[in-house]
Structure 1
Amino acid sequence: MFEQQPQTLREKVQKLANQSLEQSDPSAWFDILYAEAQGDAGQVPWAKLSPHPVLESWLNDRAITPEGRSALVTGCGLGDDAETLAARGFEVTAFDISPTAIAWCRQRFPDSPVNYCVGDFFNLDPAWRGQFDLVEDCRNIQALPLNVRSQVIEAIAALVAPGGTLLIITRDRDNDSEPEGPPWPLSDAELAEFSQWGLAEIQRHEFFDGDNTIKQLRVEYRRSH
């Protein structure tokens, strides 16, 4: 997480994000960061080169039969969560707004069955609506400012198939005041917006990161048939 990175990298992330906000293009800074990393994952604050452990624990705790089931990883970064789902038997699509990140995924996993593609939360493929049995969003909503949050939540919710599951992994904040960022943790009121789009919260798991000081959530939602 950002707190575990050198101060200069945190400052770089904030500067890039603020520049994108000033240009009214809140996601433009991601590809700049990936490109300037020049293949060094240590220059990408969220790139752990391993799947998120709370995704793995969620998979391990459930008797999931993934064969023939589709999964989508939003804002997939360098691909580790997508590869984990593919290894479990899901038919996986993974997108990121950064062409550099997608090229990096293909380089890391040249024989991968994952369909890696460039995609934008604000202009997603209409053919994806309601098509995925499992959608995972790991720390993407929190990377976008509050003034576009409802739009992103609606876009993500629309991807979940009837009877499908949405898994959100995010930092949590305890009130509705505007936090400093990035990242901008999600409030309960923002998470509750998923219910407006036909998704019921099934389970909420709280955990901590960053020397056990940063409260985070894994929230599971399901769309009714």
Structure 2
Amino acid sequence: MTAADASAADGDPLPSSSPSSSPSAGDARRLAAASLAVGDPTGWFEHLYAEARDGRAEVPWDVAAPSAHLRALDLPAGDGRRALVVGCGPGRDAEYLGALGYAVTAFDISATAIDLARARHPSSPVSYAVADLLSPPAAWRHGFDLVLESNNVQALPADIRARAIAVPGMFVAPGGLLVVLAAATSRVDSDGSGPPWPLTRAEIDGFAVDGLRPVSITQVDAAGTTLPTRWQALFTR
């Protein structure tokens, strides 16, 4: 999710300055608005990565360190168990899980993002793929012991968000774990500005589909960032 900004490194998808003063935040919102205007709510991801590749934009979540909120979970060693990273971008979280010993598959809707992840990690055991969360490969159903959804659904507008929320749980194998990390809100943002559009508690509860049940749903402090409260939700089948 670029900026060496501490808030972005902690998993906040936008730097702590305002969109008008932050080039990376402005780039994301500019391209998202253009895609939404033509009825393409996910096309802006590829546009953003492509412009960043050409030096014309910055990706606000493209930071070197894996998500601090993911690291705080203190996950056990993977021991070869299968993991899936939703919307992996340049691969920082996928590589982190790989280093823990998981057999990781990571996907993104942006082909340029996947090219970037492969270029940055040429010797990586992670399997990177181009795929769409709203139309994933059928073979992934119930195929992973750990599924990570971090900050992707919050980048989608309300009219497709419910569809997206229903998908990550479908990837979880029996006995597996779904981890959801997202910006939190107790209401729908009144002005509709975004991305991101923080998730309500009802939306977080909506990840419990297809036989999943919540293990824990908590709000964690992310003080000093543009989105100071975040969800940390775990579900299992």
TM-score for the superposition, normalised by structure 1: 0.90
Corresponding residue for residue 89 of structure 1: 101
Corresponding residue of 1:198 = 211
Determine the C-alpha separation between the residues in 2 that align with 1:38 and 1:212.
26
Q: Which residue in the other structure is 1:146 paired with?
A: 158
Q: Could you tell me the percent identity over the aligned residues?
A: 39
Q: 1:152-167 maps to which residues of 2 (within 5 A)?
A: 152-167=164-179
After TM superposition, give the deviation of residue 221 of structure 1 in Å.
1.0
d(CA) in 2 for partners of 1:209 and 1:57? Answer: 15
- Whether the 8 Å CA contact 2:27–2:59 is kept in 1: the answer is no
User: Would you say the 8 A contact 1:94–1:114 is kept in 2?
Assistant: yes
Which of 68, 83, 99 in structure 1 is aligned with 2:111?
Answer: 99
1:10–1:120 Cα change, 3 Å: same
Q: What is the distance in 2 between the residues matched to 1:47 and 1:35?
A: 13
- Which AA in structure 1 matches 2:83? A
Cα distance 1:22–1:39, how it changes in 2: closer, same or farther (>3 A)? Answer: closer
How many residues align? The count is 220
- Work out whether residues 156 and 195 of structure 2, in 8 Å CA contact, stay in contact via their aligned partners in 1: yes
Is 1:207 matched with 2:213?
Answer: no
User: How is 1:11-50 mapped onto 2 (pairs within 5 angstroms)?
Assistant: 11-38=26-53, 43-50=58-65
Residues 209 and 218 of structure 1, relative CA distance in 2, 3 Å threshold: same
Residue 222 of structure 1 aligns with which residue? Answer: 236
Structure 1 unaligned segments of length 5 or more: list them.
none
Partner residue in 2 for 1:56:
71
Paired with 1:180 and 1:76, the residues of 2 have a C-alpha distance of: 24
Q: Does 1:184 align with 2:177?
A: no
Of Structure 1 and Structure 2, the greater helix share is in: 1
- List per-residue Cα deviations over 1:185-209 (Å, max 9, x = no partner): 1001111112243222212251215
Q: Does 31-40 or 167-176 show the bigger shift?
A: 31-40
- Cα root mean square deviation, aligned: 2.0
CA apart distance, 1:114: 0.2
Comparing 155-164 with 106-115, which one deviates more in the overlay? 155-164
For the 8 Å contact 2:109–2:132, the answer to whether it is kept is yes
Cα offset, 1:156, TM superposition? 1.2
Give the Cα–Cα distance (whole angstroms) in 1 for the partners of residues 133 and 209 of structure 2: 18
Query: How far apart, CA to CA, are the structure 2 residues paired with 1:25 and 1:209?
Result: 33
